[in-house]
Amino acid sequence: MPQLDFRKPRLFADAALAAGETVVLERDQSNYLGNVLRLAAGDTILVFNGRDGEWQATIAGRKRPDGLHIVARTRTQDHLPDLVYVFAPLKHARLDYMVQKAVEMGASSLQPVLTRHTHVSRVNGERMRANVIEAAEQCGILSIAGVAEPIALDRYLSRREPQRLLIFCDEAAETASPWQALQSGPAPGGGIDVLIGPEGGFAEEERAMLLRQPRILRLSLGPRILRADTAAVAALALVQAALGDWTGPGSRG
């Protein structure tokens, strides 16, 4: 694992980064650096854009921070594992938490799906993306997870690529070792989709539709019923440990 600098603040900037370039700060970024962190011209931070790696930058500005002078690259760009987190949206703070934790756990994309028992019909994509960026800034992550528009479950299933492994976390599945199920199941050669349903559970016709999908692994998360945001962390941790980038050299797939 590369050495991370946890002492310097990190900032996401949607601009090209290269030595000698100057990045103009947005108003909220200027306020964050100047009024929240109490930084001023000449102070050093780390900046990344999800494409060009991480860079050391010096704050510029007279009365308040208004720009960044890019100095030198500190880390080269990496790439997230092909791991899509598919979920029924939650309300407000719990959705914020779920998005942040999915990013911390290495999800490359977030796909909200609407089911019969989904309690939330509208999803604030801008707020989700802000939470993605905040989690990346705080946790040393270089790549920015994608945020997809909400889609009905049946439409999502009709569009997904059949070679991808669908890990269906089903509260009605027979309780067994999820680790063993992941180890003995299909190899994720074409990427992994992890599906967590609503807290009202899947309707029977939805479960039947899911179980007809190619390359599906029906997974129990244990003997206890978990809230959806807790289930997200549990499922993604299991998948990363058994099939993802926690496995290290010689991993499956």
Does residue 248 carry a pLDDT above 80? no
Q: Are 209 and 167 in contact (CB under 8 A)?
A: no
Per-residue pLDDT reduced to its tens digit, 179-230: 888 988 888 888 999 999 988 889 999 999 999 998 999 998 988 888 999 9
What is the C-alpha separation between 217 and 21, in angstroms, rounded?
A: 48
Q: Which residue range(s) make up the domain with 179?
A: 83-242
- The answer to whether residue 247 is domain-embedded is no
Q: What is the model's pLDDT at position 253? A: 36
Listed in sequence order, the residues at least 6 apart from 96 whose beta carbon sits closer than 8 Å to its beta carbon are 127, 131
CA dihedral 126, 76, 6, 129 (to 10 degrees): 10
Whole-model pTM: value is: 0.90
Regarding whether 168 and 68 lie in a shared domain, the answer is no
Last residue of some domain: 75, 104, 123? Answer: 75
Query: Which DSSP string do the residues of 134-146 spell out, in sequence order?
Result: HHHHHHT--SPPE
Regarding whether 39 and 88 lie in a shared domain, the answer is no
- The answer to whether residue 199 is domain-embedded is yes
Other beta carbons within 10 angstroms of residue 154's beta carbon come to 14
Last residue of some domain: 53, 75, 97? Answer: 75
State how many domains the chain has. Answer: 2
The CATH number given to whatever domain includes residue 59 is: 2.40.240.20
- The answer to whether residue 2 is domain-embedded is no
Residue with tokens 């976390």: 169
Q: Are 77 and 2 in contact (CB under 8 A)?
A: no
Regarding whether 93 and 38 lie in a shared domain, the answer is no
**DSSP secondary structure code for residue 22 in this structure:** E
Which of these ranges, 84-93, 96-105, 113-122, has the smallest mean pLDDT? 113-122
**What values do phi and psi take at 101, rounded to 5?**
-70, -35
Regarding whether 169 and 125 lie in a shared domain, the answer is yes
- The answer to whether residue 63 is domain-embedded is yes
- The answer to whether residue 59 is domain-embedded is yes
- The answer to whether residue 166 is domain-embedded is yes
Per-residue pLDDT reduced to its tens digit, 110-156: 999 999 988 887 899 999 999 999 999 999 999 999 999 999 999 99
What is the C-alpha separation between 158 and 53, in angstroms, rounded?
A: 35
Last residue of some domain: 59, 75, 91? Answer: 75
- The answer to whether residue 204 is domain-embedded is yes
Q: Are 125 and 151 in contact (CB under 8 A)?
A: no
Does residue 3 carry a pLDDT above 70? no
Regarding whether 71 and 134 lie in a shared domain, the answer is no
Regarding whether 237 and 202 lie in a shared domain, the answer is yes
pLDDT, greater one: 173 or 77: 77
Gyration radius (Cα) of the chain, Å: 20
What is the C-alpha separation between 68 and 46, in angstroms, rounded?
A: 10
